[in-house]
Amino acid sequence: MISAQPTNNAQRPKVLISAYACRPGMGSEPGVAWNMVQQLVKYCDVWIFTRADNRPSIEAELVKNPISGLHVVHCDLPSWARCWNYKGKGVQIHYYLWQIIAYFAARKLHQEVNFDLIHHVTYVKYWSPSFLSLLPVPFIWGPVGGGESAPKPFWQDFGWRGKVYEILRSLAHRLGEIDPFTRLTARRSILVRATTEDTAKRLYQMRASNVEVCSAIAISQEEIERFAQCAKLKNSPVRFISIARLLHWKGLHLGMQAFATADLPDDAEYWILGEGPEKKRLQALAKKLNVAQRVKFWGQLSRDETLSKLSECHVLLHPSLHDSGALVCLEAMAVGRPVICLDLGGPAVQVTEETGLKIPAQTPEQVVSSLADAISCLAKDSELRSHMGQAGQKRVREFYSWEVKGQYIAELYQEILAKNQQPPLAEHNMHLLNRKI
């Protein structure tokens, strides 16, 4: 692979970034887009297309920290149609229509700028099209995710709301897959970056020709250094922690059952951070399992408070059934804590056998038993916890810093542009034939 280096203006490719969600200082998808742009502008001139309601936070950040080579284009639906995105209601319809508006704006701007590449960054969803793929410019899609689903045997533990959610989610994905524009986006992409193997399989079925599995998320170098300063813990009491919205598919009921049946010291604790509709159900389960005194619900905390709680625990327990990303796994690894997760979705990509324990997900009974074994193992073996923690920090530094990710994507750009400048074989042969004639 070509090694990308920051370049002068004469050499810098012109890249259009599509980022419906993009805000500085945010987590989740808005943070993914902003962090990506901050890194790519070191190597390229970047035009970022985003929603109009992202303008205040972006402009405020650029006043404090100007970025040379970055051009922000705010586009949106007419004012009468923006109600689709009011307080998040109808956001999927707004997102779809925004893609159309962005296409016409980008087509006009392309006539002036002549972009070298177009890269769709957010939303990170494989089942909705990007109309920018229709422009006559090499197009990169993603990372996109969402192809993961909770294995059917686990549905038996979901309440009726959870089952309805899973059915509607699956239906939305299948409808998106048969949308001709979504399939066209997959086929026209010179590269599709998928967050998980499950999403990659769905993309290949949609006739994508070149798919790379990679995580959409990363951590800044500044935060990696900050996390590394967290103190090492004493061996007792052993604490396990889960940090998640309290939703059915986060699998915290599985983690709690495993904690209750694991071979643990009497003073071992399980901390749960987050809020959500499953909270009362989980609290009732803790009482039923006779572990209510050892399971602590801390509620929704600030980022600093969350980091503090994470640093006071020995192991992250993350039994989610369909996460595309799971930034919390990377943060735990950066703090130097091993991760216990299911061998599903994004955590399965991030966590290795050196940095944690991945549990196959076949049935709820099997998962609870295997999680209990993993909990018991790490509770007893402080040396293994230390080894995995150090390996996790090394993995985050090498593969999951935004700086590393930005350089890697810039190298991808260079490779794609180098190949795109070479004439196709048939055209090259015709050119030689005409010369002979």
**What order do you get walking across the sheet with 211-213 strand by strand?**
70-74, 45-50, 14-19, 117-122, 139-144, 191-194, 211-213
pTM: 0.87
* CATH, domain range 14-218+401-429: 3.40.50.2000
As given in the structure block, the two tokens for residue 342 are: 């299911």
Strand partners, 259: none
CATH topology of domain 221-399: Rossmann fold (3.40.50)
In three-state secondary structure terms, 50 is: strand
> Which of 117, 100, 94 has its CA nearest to residue 21?
94
Nearest to 158 by CA among 247, 48, 224, 98: 247
Q: What's residue 393's pLDDT?
A: 94
Tokens 């909705």, residue? 128
**Helices 364-380 and 382-399 sit at what angle, rounded to 10 degrees?**
100
**Model pLDDT, residue 430:** 33
Low-confidence ranges of the chain (pLDDT < 70): 1-10, 80-89, 231, 235, 422-437
Q: How far apart are CA 271 and CA 318, in angstroms?
A: 12
Burial of 98: CB neighbours in 10 Å, binned 0-12, 13-18, 19+ = buried
CA distance 120 to 191: 11
Residue 88's pLDDT is what? 58
Q: Which two tokens mark 391?
A: 């390996």
pLDDT for the residue numbered 433: 28
Strands of 209-268, DSSP E:
211-213, 239-243
- Looking at residue 408, its pLDDT comes to 93
Q: Which two tokens stand for residue 178?
A: 């048969």
Q: CATH 3.40.50.2000 occupies which residues in the chain?
A: 14-218+401-429, 221-399
What pLDDT score does 422 carry?
56
Which conformational region is residue 276 in: left (phi greater than 0), alpha (psi within -120 to 50 degrees), or beta? left
